Amino acid sequence: MKYSDSPQILALNRVERLYLGGAGLDKWQKLEKPRDGHNSEEFLISTVPYIGPGKPVNRGISRSKVDGRYISLNDMIHAEEKTFLGEGYLHKTCGNLGVLVRAGDSAERLIIQSHPTDLFARTYLNCPFGKTEAWYILDTRKDTGYCYVGIKQGVEKNDLIQAFKKGDSQAMLNMMHKVEFQKGEMILIPSGMLHAMGAGTTFLEFHQPCDYTFRYEKKYFERQISESELHCGLGIETVMESLRFSGCSYEELLRIVKPAFGEIQKKQGGQVETILSHDDNLCFCVERARVDRTMRFIQNRSSHCVMIAARGDVTIKNHSGTWKLLQGRGAVIPANVGDVFITGINAELLIAYPFKERGGLWYICLACHVQIY
């Protein structure tokens, strides 16, 4: 059987990060003895390696168990590009999924950071993608969570450079907006936007296929950050070229980072809603499906999609077999799979779709349509 004929359920793929956390991920994935440490991120669906000093070349790339052995997601795609990715998508993604998913859990505030834009990534990093990302809030350790996002009105580039050179983290945080959120919300972080997730949040991160991060704290709590970890060896002045420096009011920022959800489509047995659309960003879109019986997932074969079991376990069935997708795990639905039936009880799935070119511009392609019976 071809890889592209069946859903690919991906193995757990925990990686080490600078920040402490992980207990929330352990609980979400129903692992024994949840605890915080530096294994604070899960690369749920990834075709790019974890970039870090001294890390193995392919660390972080997702794998699926096929006929008793693990095959990397990249090898599956390269073996069957047209039927795996879909002909309507193939030539726009450099053999990549276009939208990847990871999960994180923060016991402490994450380091102040930004990610490259598409143009900056191509120019300086030899990477076809920048990194726009969107956080779906799975849980918070307190009633509300928070993050620092964007730059306030009146802040100049030199203000940030001087605070960076002095190692004044609090001064930099004071230049940024503090945004609160609750479980079930979505926070959009466009590429080039300064940000830092706050302490006490378990979150999903949908993002472009890129793991380059620029960091703005030479000392992060008690840890010294190396030059390569700070700005990938490019220098702070060069990295600043990738930042969005147009300061905005808090109200203007919220219109960008907290996009409105689409209308809930109530069906017998559940509901579906768009929680990040092509009107919000041109990189990918995300839908949330709440299922309490069987959902028919109609694939039009022009493109693939990715799926996360955010709450509850589900079974996925198509013409070639039946698979179990456990809470806290991810799956890729190749373009060639055809219709699948998803069964769960009070389950919540998040489904992300890549972009597609239309009329000379980049658009989101809703590759599938959901019906609930």
Give pLDDT tens digits for 50-94: 876 556 667 899 999 999 999 999 999 999 999 999 887 765 567
Q: How far apart are CA 223 and CA 167, in angstroms?
A: 12
Q: How far apart are CA 2 and CA 53, in angstroms?
A: 36
- CA–CA–CA angle 73, 77, 79 (5° rounding): 115
Provide the b/e sequence for 35-67 (b: ≥16 CB within 10 Å).
ebeebbbbbbbbbbbbbbeeeeeeebbbbbeee
- In this structure, is residue 321 part of a structural domain? yes
The two structure tokens encoding residue 133: 């990302």
- In this structure, is residue 100 part of a structural domain? no
The two structure tokens encoding residue 337: 């799979």
Place of tokens 């809930």: 264
- In this structure, is residue 59 part of a structural domain? no
CA dist list (Å): 87 to 270, 336, 356: 31, 10, 11
Q: Alpha carbon 284 to chain centroid distance?
A: 10
Does position 32 have pLDDT exceeding 90, yes or no?
Answer: yes
Q: How far apart are CA 263 and CA 292, in angstroms?
A: 19
Does position 299 have pLDDT exceeding 90, yes or no?
Answer: no
Containing 271, the helix (H) or strand (E) segment is strand 270-276
- In this structure, is residue 83 part of a structural domain? no
* List of residues 6+ apart from 68 with CB closer than 8 A: none
- In this structure, is residue 306 part of a structural domain? yes
Q: Per-residue confidence at 373, pLDDT binned at 50, 70, 90?
A: very low
Query: CB-side exposure of 278: number of CA atoms within 13 Å?
Result: 13
- In this structure, is residue 150 part of a structural domain? no
Q: How far apart are CA 112 and CA 53, in angstroms?
A: 19
- In this structure, is residue 320 part of a structural domain? yes
CATH of the domain at 361: 2.60.120.10
- Residue 345, domain extent: 265-372
Number of domains in the chain: 1
Instruction: Please choose, from the candidates 342, 354, 277, the residue with its C-alpha nearest in 3D space to the C-alpha of residue 312.
Output: 342
Q: How far apart are CA 306 and CA 325, in angstroms?
A: 12
The SS3 call for residue 166 is helix
- The tens digit of pLDDT for each residue in 132-186 reads 999 999 999 999 999 999 999 999 989 999 999 999 999 999 999 999 999 999 9
Does position 281 have pLDDT exceeding 90, yes or no?
Answer: no
Q: Alpha carbon 67 to chain centroid distance?
A: 29
More confident residue, 204 or 357: 204
- In this structure, is residue 38 part of a structural domain? no
More confident residue, 1 or 33: 33
More confident residue, 92 or 263: 263
